[in-house]
Amino acid sequence: MASYTEIDELLALNEGTGLRRRVAVATLVAADAIRQEVDDGSALTRQRKRYAQSVFRLAFSSQLFFRPDDSHLALSGVYEAVYRSVVIANIAATKAQIQSASDALIQVAVNDALDLLAPNFPDPVTP
């Protein structure tokens, strides 16, 4: 199990293992899956699609993947919420296991995070 100090190190802006960047890529993949969901007109679907839209807007408007470090990812609320959710969901693993997780395991954790976060994404029109 990762200690709280190790978890804090993973949450730091200067986390240097590339985990934050891998989670950001997995977030784009998950957002694309949401984009492809059938729109049934429900509030839940609208919220999920708005979340996916915000993921893509942030990725391309701020040139998310073209900067020399990962600290900019932490400044993006949507990505940081997913990243923190992924790290905390894996607190039972060691720090090394979290850092070296396979892309498939990261994707599962990101999908779970989006399932939690997207349905609660606020409607910008209706408070």
Does 116 map to a domain?
yes
Range of the domain at 56: 4-120
Does 125 map to a domain?
no
Instruction: List b or e across 34-47, with b for residues whose CB sees 16 or more CB atoms inside 10 angstroms.
Output: beeeeeeeeeebeb
Q: d(Cα 21, Cα 110) in Å, to the nearest integer? A: 12
Mind listing the pLDDT tens digit for each residue in 111-125?
999 988 888 766 555
Quote the pLDDT of residue 64. Answer: 55
In this prediction, residue 127 has a pLDDT band, given cuts at 50, 70 and 90, of very low
Does 127 map to a domain?
no
Mind listing the pLDDT tens digit for each residue in 6-16?
999 998 877 77
Does 126 map to a domain?
no
Cα separations in angstroms, 111 against 62, 71, 115: 23, 22, 6
> Cβ-count burial of 24 within 10 angstroms (0-12 exposed, 13-18 middle, 19+ buried)?
buried
Mind listing the pLDDT tens digit for each residue in 43-86?
888 888 888 888 888 776 655 555 555 555 555 677 888 999 99
Q: How many domains does the chain have?
A: 1
Does 25 map to a domain?
yes
Q: Choose among 108, 116, 89, 118: nearest CA to 22.
A: 108
Does 111 map to a domain?
yes
The phi-psi region of residue 114 (left if phi > 0; otherwise alpha if psi is between -120 and 50; otherwise beta) is alpha
